[in-house]
Amino acid sequence: MAARVVSWNAFRRLFAPDRDGVRGAPGRDGVRVALDWPRLAALHRTGAVRVVREDHALDRLPPPYAYYAPWYADPAGRPTDYRAADARPLNSADLARTGQGLTEEQRHRVGHFERALAEAPLRLCLPTLDLGEGRRLVLDGNHRLVALLRLVATGPGAAVHEFRVSAPLDPKLLPDLHHWVAD
């Protein structure tokens, strides 16, 4: 299915934290990355933000190597903080294939979703940020995406509803972006 434009308000209602901005407040947590929602809203008001929705059957996802998690590893493949000088972003397909770079907690959560998804079809809403060159940073749903990619050959059907944000790649908007912009 072709991508179609989504209104800013619809995207915000689906993925922004509750209006008070407090994570864990009644309602929803919103995306879990350190996205600066007020900055994104200001960019939207200038026309610099576009959101599209693209629906994919699991077997018709863009190449899995297009998706990156906001998780990082050092050169030895050990999990590390995004601020570490030698941190490298982890690709969702590599995480599904090898698990290298996942913390024990992340491994546990991926395993939990993998077991749950093996039994039932799923509809995954996946907010992403367009990194250019066909790459996307997954803003939320990383554990579920890695679990789905592990099950691609044997699991039940799935529908992925990707909500892709195009915005200036500014580390002030999302600190992780310093890995994706030239110095």
pLDDT in tens, 52-67: 999 887 665 667 668 9
Interstrand relation of 122-132 and 158-166 (parallel, antiparallel or unpaired): parallel
Task: Summarize the confidence of residues 21-42 as an average pLDDT.
Answer: 71
Where on the phi/psi map is residue 21: left (φ > 0), alpha (ψ -120 to 50), or beta? left
Taking 50 as the threshold, does the pLDDT of residue 25 lie above it?
no
Taking 50 as the threshold, does the pLDDT of residue 23 lie above it?
no
Q: Could you tell me which of 87, 52, 51, 74 has the C-alpha nearest to residue 176?
A: 87
pLDDT in tens, 95-139: 888 888 999 999 999 999 888 877 776 778 899 999 999 899 999
Q: Which residue type sits at 101?
A: G
Which sequence spans correspond to the domains of the chain?
4-179
Interstrand relation of 79-80 and 158-166 (parallel, antiparallel or unpaired): unpaired
92 neighbors 146 (Cβ within 8 angstroms): yes
CA distance 48 to 37: 14
Give me the pLDDT at residue 52, please: 96
